[in-house]
Amino acid sequence: MIIVNDIEQIQNICRDKSNKGFIPTMGALHKGHISLIQKSRLNLDFIIVSIFINPAQFSENEDLDKYPQNAKNDIKICQDNKVDVLFMPLAKDIYQDYEPKIISDKIDAYKLEGINRPSHFDGVLNVVMKLLNIITPNKLYLGKKDAQQIILIEKMIKSFFLNINVIRCESIRDDDGIAMSSRNIYLSKNDRMKLMQVNKALQKCKNKITNNKTKSDIIIEEIRNNLIKLEINYISIVNHKLKQAKYTIISDTIILISVNINNTNYIDNIWL
Ligand code: PAF
């Protein structure tokens, strides 16, 4: 594996490769990221992982300064999983002082996660577009845990006519059912105990939905009743295009939950 910081260097490396898989990350890699790498390894010849803590997707009151970092462990994980190139660019090379920007779609990007983090998805889309243009992958691997992120990135790829296939990958959970996230290091044992209710509530709903006639409002109410002593930011049911769904349609529904636990935003979902 080689580690590259320089943009021109990685462009030169990537230019010659025809079957490239790309996994963009902000580091602090965990089993969720490993599953993306392993999935890409099965199908593609050349795997690039990027680690870049993207300042543009953090709001002022967020955790940019203390975002988890563990470069040594990240490098080992990438090596052990046969990544070909680990790309770790510098912010000064990624961003220029004055530059055109992608503005995310107000309707889909300013709801759910976008309510409390208004310019978050603008930041995500801009950096992902830059990374895609640098790497020019054939396939992009993203986790379904960040459902809104995947859908917005897919829409951007379509709008800008990029010839990139997005592979939606299943969420990976710890033994207690908590969905893997780099920010989980902020959680105490007690937080985790409380959060276990989230996956349980989602699974319970999934088992109950056997036809396409279930009203979303009823499901939302049931989930709310199952989440005791949790500060709920939202429970929402949308279709795979992120539009509010009145009924839960099997194979076209995502049930999304966000809770605030000890000032940490924990999100989880289930795709039906
Ligand atoms: O999901 C993430 O880790 C980030 O939002 C991403 C896609 C790497 C963009 O910075």
Evaluate: CB of 150 within 6 angstroms of ligand 1: no
Residue located nearest, by CA, to atom 1 of ligand 1:
25
pLDDT at 124: 98
Ligand 1 contact via 113 beta carbon (within 6 Å): no
pLDDT of residue 172: 97
Whose C-alpha lies nearest to ligand 1, atom 3?
A: 25
Dist. CA 215 → ligand 1 center (Å): 33
CA 127 – ligand 1 centroid, Å: 8
Tell me what pLDDT residue 209 has.
86
Please, which residues have CB within 8 angstroms of residue 248's CB and are 6 or more apart in sequence? 209, 212, 214, 215, 216, 219, 237, 255, 272
Nearest CA to ligand 1 atom 6: 25
Phi first, then psi, for residue 14 (nearest 5°) are: -70, -30
Q: Ligand 1, from 26, 50, 95, 150: best to mutate by most atoms within 8 Å of Cβ?
A: 26
This prediction's pTM: 0.96
The pLDDT of residue 229 is 87
Question: Which two structure tokens, joined as six digits, stand for 80?
Answer: 């052990």
Rounded Cα distance between 22 and 47, Å, is: 6
Residues of the chain with pLDDT under 50: none
**120, 133, 149, 152: residue to mutate for ligand 1 pocket, most atoms within 8 A of CB:** 149
Question: What is the per-residue pLDDT for 210?
Answer: 81
| Tokens linked to 94 | 């990624």
Q: What percentage of the chain's residues is helix, strand, coil (to nearest 5)? A: 40, 20, 35
- Tokens 């396409």: give the residue: 212
Cβ-Cβ contacts under 8 Å for 257 (sequence gap 6 or more): 198, 201, 202, 223, 227, 232, 234, 235, 267, 268, 269
* 135, burial (CB in 10 Å: exposed 0-12, middle 13-18, buried 19+): buried
Cβ–ligand 1 distance for 26 under 6 Å, the answer yes
**φ/ψ (deg, to 5) at 69:** -135, 140
H/E stretch holding 120 reads helix 120-135
pLDDT of residue 35: 97
What is the dihedral sign for C-alpha 228, 230, 232, 235? negative
Nearest CA to ligand 1 atom 5: 124
- The protein residue whose alpha carbon is closest to atom 8 in ligand 1 is 25
**Residue from 74, 128, 134 to probe ligand 1 pocket by mutation (most atoms less than 8 Å from CB):** 128
Task: Answer yes or no: 30 catalytic.
Answer: no
Report how far Cα 92 is from the mean position of its chain's Cα atoms. Answer: 24
Ligand 1: centre distance to CA 246 (Å): 30
